Amino acid sequence: MGADAADMTTGPPLRKVVGFALPLTAANLLQQGYVLVDGIVVGHWTGVDGLAAIGAAGPLFYLLNAMFIGLGTAFTIRLAHLRGSGDADARRGVVLSLALLTAVWSAGCVLLATVLIDPALAVMGLRGQLAHDASVFLSTLSLGFPGIFGTAAVSAYLRGLGDSRTALWVAGFGSVTNAVLVLLFVAGWDLGIAGAALATATSSTLALVVGVAVAARKYPVPRAGGKPAVRRELTDAVRLGFPLASQHIILALGIMVLVWILQAFGPVVLAAFSIVSRVEQVTGMLFLDFSGAVTAFAAQNLGAGDEPRARFGLTRTLGLTAVLTLVVSAVVLAARAPIAALFTDDPATRALTERYLLIIYPFLVLYTLMVVLHGYLNGARRTTAPLVCTVIAFLLVQIPFAYLFHGVLGVEAVMWAVVVGWVAGLTYSVLCLRRVLFAVPVHEEAV
């Protein structure tokens, strides 16, 4: 599998999880650093309207991107199981099926973006200049879909082999390039939000070229082992990944509903929503990477038949997650005013951003523990459980709460709905984990 691929079946469990997660976090922080730079540049060079347009376009891009990441995670889990069991010959079929899925998905999303952008924005209640700007952003961004999805596929491959360090360098290259280009296109050439989208499209394409070259050199695909079972691997990946992708579909559609609720309050509210979303992405990244590391750790150790080690790694990671979350929450709460000022000069947007952060960040630990539990469930191939959790927490609790109470509480209903959703999600996740760990064995896809 390559000399540098991480074997997570031996050594101190927490060290293995953290050692896997930190390079991913570094890569994602570079990526989210670009997101912050993008938001800052757009906020200062295009104003509140530019931030509002990107915030409105965000759910549609998230829908396409996160669905693919959900499917890609299935390939990561499969490769990790192969790593744990020592079966290298089957890897060729996995890689070919991943490449086929990536090509078909990229082409389909470009087509969808071309045809359905304007109708989708209209369904969200967006009209006029705001809808036009969001449409320009998404249509320009679609030029980079092959690079965006291709880079995600390369990352899934490398993470499945346990090599998060190489994934770090590939993602880091794309993120640094992205930050440089957005400064050039938006601040230098005054291309507006189209320039921000073009920077992402260009840097993602360059990162894909670099990623494929590096992955092929470090981990060449075995050519022995007979005819690759591409159809079987693709079918298995879709079956395993569909709940993960569906989870993101629900999240994206729910965010679209939130945008529909928020747009009635005006562009200042959408701008604040866009800023807080970026802050959440950055501060939540370490814990999402802990989740991904626990997925790989659990998949390798369960594949090797060592369930006690998989459980021990989970409990140690949960403890570390709780401590680090308290630190992160305290920092954000203390620095909420400078954080808001970093993105915009508008006093109303600043004040609303600060209020949003003040409401949700004391409860961030509910979210971080939940996503780490989801990592173990995914590694155990119980990918339906996080899906059902999302349906309950987001679709049945958070969205209805925001809708029912926004007339009474105003925009704060959307903020408190986040907290209520986290409570429901963590509760359900704990119940699912207890069933997986302590109940009699069930079918591997059962909740």
Lowest mean pLDDT among 88-92, 255-259, 422-426, 432-436: 88-92
Mean pLDDT, rounded, of the chain: 80
Higher per-residue pLDDT: 51 or 145: 145
3 has a pLDDT exceeding 50: no
Q: Express each pLDDT in 291-339 by its tens digit.
A: 888 988 888 888 778 888 888 989 999 999 999 999 999 999 999 999 8
Greater confidence (447 vs 362) lies with 362
* Identity of the amino acid at 91: R
- pLDDT (mean) for 140-149: 88
Q: What pLDDT is stored for residue 18 in this prediction?
A: 85
Tell whether the model's pLDDT for residue 372 goes beyond 90.
yes
Mean pLDDT of 260-283: 78
Could you state, in order of their start, the residue ranges of all structural domains in the chain? 13-438
Output the pLDDT for position 434: 84
Query: Residues of the chain with pLDDT > 90: what percent?
Result: 15
